[in-house]
Amino acid sequence: MLQLSSVHHIAIIATDYARSKAFYCDVLGFSLMSEVYREARDSWKGDLALNGQYTIELFSFPSPPARVSHPEACGLRHLAFTVPDVAAAVATLAEKGVVCEPIRIDDLTGKQCTFFADPDGLPLELYQA
């Protein structure tokens, strides 16, 4: 049996690299570990860490196709982050101009959660730790 030990990273393609880098770093609190411009691909690649742990590989490519639907297409549905207090996190995001859906309760766990989107409309979730 294959023995996976953890998720190494999540790759995200942005239409506007600088805007998405600012969103993930300045709004969500990721730190930029490294960054490189790949001239042959006209593409930026940034490695982002959350609490010192490499988590997101942020790319740009010229004219990437739009996401098929929001979020019910086959493939990645959303990316979820745990937070100690969903309401406090929603208030912090609101101060930075990010609109979240109303907080709801997960029917299976009884925990609070909410959804919002990154600059390209990728669905993101906050989930009560």
Q: What is the pLDDT of residues 3-25, one digit of tens each?
A: 767 788 999 999 999 999 999 99
Question: Six-digit token pair at 109?
Answer: 């766990």
Q: Last residue of a domain, which of 63, 86, 104? A: 63
Q: How far is CA 39 from CA 2, 45, 83, 88, in A?
A: 37, 11, 37, 41
Which structural domain, as residue segments, surrounds residue 107? 77-128
Tell me, yes or no, whether 70 lies in a domain. Answer: no
- Same domain as 58, residue 9: yes
C-alpha 12/C-alpha 1 separation (Å) is: 29
Secondary structure class of 14 (helix, strand, coil) = strand
pLDDT at position 8 is: 86
Domain count along the chain: 2
In the chain, the amino acid numbered 88 is A
pLDDT at position 1 is: 81
What are 95-114's pLDDT values in tens digits? Answer: 999 999 999 999 999 999 99
DSSP secondary structure letter of residue 15: S
- Same domain as 94, residue 41: no
Tell me, yes or no, whether 69 lies in a domain. Answer: no
- Same domain as 54, residue 103: no
Global pTM reads 0.87
